[in-house]
Chain A
């Protein structure tokens, strides 16, 4: 067995001096797809942001290793260049910067980092067209400013399109299913499925189980109050759909009372 793609041990994270993640352990093998499910406020998006290296998320304990390296020691752009991709829950608008120009700059920054030749405009266009088909994205969105005036569904498709283009090793999808109608969800999911490979690991962060109808995870983790409280296969997700998070939340509350 090679080193796992991602190894999180005893992770503690604070935001504005408030503990959010409280001793999280997780291991993601190369090529595996794991889902992290949990109620609002359980720390799902915090985990995504910590992995991507966003400012304001203070790690107060534990470690995160990515392909055996200390992920937390790397600045955000280096993580990205090394193959960590975050599909944003709320993709950011960048007015005036064309989507394709932005992506060409991003792709070439990644290629440069990896010692590969940068793509010229022609080759990039060919590649972009191919990847846009994957998420059935309107070609016009390539010329428009990054996420500016995109609908919710267009923004999420754009995230998956970017992922397809940048070919990450570790993709973290933060509530990619939120705000999507059923058709858009299907398109996004089929894009994600097309990108599954033996070399690529994925972490699907979601509140609802419905995404997992379309993307079948190898494992499902339940995140409550900053900790993984249960791990299982996709049937765990189905069980959650029926019974909800209430029992887990009750246990977590008792636990924190006990420790207080």
Chain B
């Protein structure tokens, strides 16, 4: 049995392929957090006064806030004064005008990650807003998007070029004092992406950004804001890897989505940050606040996530369903291995009439991994005829891991319908032997079973992402036969 477990462990424990450190000179803030540092960041980014004030207000809230302790994760306390809150790759005076001007070292880094910008630009039709540490270095396909009135740029650029939009929507979904990490982000956020899709426009390509934490001890505080006006559509992809490191790296991002009448926003994530080594040393701490607001009637927001990385994942992408007949969806695969801990799920807040939400969560635990689904479905008095369907499945590999399901439900009217299903299963020796007797290697058998388990979620991902996600899960794409 033990030999079996060891074999299984080996299968799941393939080396972290994206682990290295790129040697680039940095322009970084000294460690520590104070009003002075916030002014430094804001000044570096030439921000308007109102934004500095906003940051400072967030900081003052944060100082009064306590670390949340309700999640099923444990980790040593973070010394927020030991972190450097700003770092930018060195560039020529005004930044690159094209890829030719981008630091070749940086481009090689992307190549190692398997996303050569040039190829991707030409072949994949994906516009990439690449974030290396804290400053965006390249934005592609801008012209085509601009001709349709779509704005896709770094957050910093949006602050300079479209301050009225940023000011209108920033913090409108995730208030600056929403929680400890959101407040921290609001005070010190470095950069991120900004998307605006005007009324009636269907964004013709998947918008994609690649996050990467590189500088040692530099927490990353990304800020993303996506606004879809009436009858518009946008699909946004976020994928991440980080270099191997012994120190824990803090990541506290905030993502806000706004969908007006009949608009649809699809937000997909593949998260593969360094999970720590086999003994649980190192790894990224990922404390993320992601929320979408279905403000308009018949609007729709879908979150799809494949979370395989990070030592700690603390993440609950949710939807506030304000508009009547609006729809919120959450599809999630979370994999924990070795000593990874994930406490993730969603919040669906139903306010409008006939609002609908779907939650499909697939948790995979292996090694000593601990995987918790934590979700809230809240149906307010005015949400007559609201409906929710939740399905939370857990798959255990080996006998040292754990799966936990914590669904919260609050219903304040009698005309709504809620369904909840949950299962827990284990990859059994019987299954592996059966597969082996049909000629499949153990590795392929595990992939097959895991892939089958996650199918409902993976099929929600855009094609190019689904491939990456399946690679990450070590499985091959299900062909036309399935």
Contacts and interface: CB of A to CB of B under 8 A. Distances in A.
A85 B436 CA distance: 10
B419 interface: no
Interface of B: 4, 425, 428-431, 433-442, 444, 448-449, 451-453, 455, 478-482
Contacts of B449: 94, 96-97
Q: How many A residues are at the interface, by size bracket?
A: 35 or more
A48 to B, nearest CB: 10
Dominant SS among interface residues on chain B = helix
Given A55-B4, A121-B479, A166 B438 contact: yes
A229 B438 CA distance: 32
A79 B430 CA distance: 17
Contacts of B4: 55
Contacts of A76: 433, 436-437
Nearest to A101: B482
Given A55-B433, A97-B448, A97-B452, A166 B439 contact: yes
Contact of A104 (B431, B433, B441, B481): B481
B231 to A, nearest CB: 37
Dominant SS among interface residues on chain A = helix
B451 A86 contact: no
A30 interface: no
Nearest to B478: A101
Given A55-B433, A121-B479, 20 more contacts: A52-B433, A55-B429, A76-B436, A77-B436, A77-B437, A77-B439, A77-B442, A80-B438, A86-B437, A92-B434, A94-B434, A94-B448, A101-B448, A101-B478, A103-B438, A105-B440, A105-B448, A106-B438, A121-B481, A122-B480
Nearest to B454: A96
Contacts of A75: 436
Identify which of B433, B439, B440 gathers the most chain A CB atoms within 10 Å of its CB: B439
A52 B452 CA distance: 25
Nearest to B447: A105
A110 interface: yes
Contacts of B428: 92
Which 9 residue pairs are nearest across A and B when measured between Cβ atoms?
Answer: A96-B452, A97-B452, A106-B438, A92-B434, A76-B436, A80-B439, A121-B480, A109-B439, A101-B482
A86 B437 CA distance: 7
Nearest to B3: A55
Contact of B431 (A55, A92, A98, A107): A92
A168 to B, nearest CB: 10
A109 B448 CA distance: 13
A210 interface: no
A215 B453 CA distance: 39
A241 B407 CA distance: 58
B439 A95 contact: no
B457 to A, nearest CB: 11
A248 interface: no
Contacts of B480: 121-122
21 contacts: A52-B433, A53-B436, A55-B4, A77-B436, A80-B438, A85-B437, A86-B437, A92-B434, A94-B452, A96-B449, A96-B451, A96-B453, A98-B452, A98-B478, A98-B481, A102-B435, A104-B479, A106-B439, A110-B439, A121-B480, A166-B439
A46 interface: no
Contacts of B481: 98, 100-101, 104, 121, 124-125
A121 B482 CA distance: 9
A201 interface: no
B441 A77 contact: yes
Interface in A93-140: 93-98, 100-107, 109-110, 113, 121-122, 124-125
B455 A109 contact: no
Contacts of A109: 438-441, 444
Nearest to B425: A95
B333 to A, nearest CB: 12
A206 interface: no
Contacts of A103: 438
A91 interface: yes
A155 to B, nearest CB: 11
Nearest to B441: A77
B455 to A, nearest CB: 6
Contact of B438 (A93, A102, A122): A102
Contacts of A102: 435, 438, 448
A8 interface: no
Given A55-B429, A104-B481, A125-B481, A97 B438 contact: no
A105 to B, nearest CB: 6
Contacts of B433: 52, 54-55, 76, 92
Contacts of A98: 452, 478, 481-482
A166 B438 CA distance: 8
Contact of B437 (A52, A93, A95, A101): A52
Identify which of A88, A93, A94, A103 gathers the most chain B CB atoms within 10 Å of its CB: A94
B465 to A, nearest CB: 20
Contacts of A95: 425, 452-453
Contacts of A93: 431
A81 interface: yes
Contacts of A7: none
Identify which of A92, A93, A105 gathers the most chain B CB atoms within 10 Å of its CB: A105
B335 to A, nearest CB: 15
Contacts of B435: 94, 102, 106
Given A97-B452, A105-B448, A81 B425 contact: no
A220 to B, nearest CB: 25
Contacts of B438: 80, 102-103, 106, 109, 162, 166
B425 to A, nearest CB: 7
A175 B425 CA distance: 27
Contact of B479 (A54, A85, A92, A101): A101
Contacts of B442: 77
B441 A91 contact: no
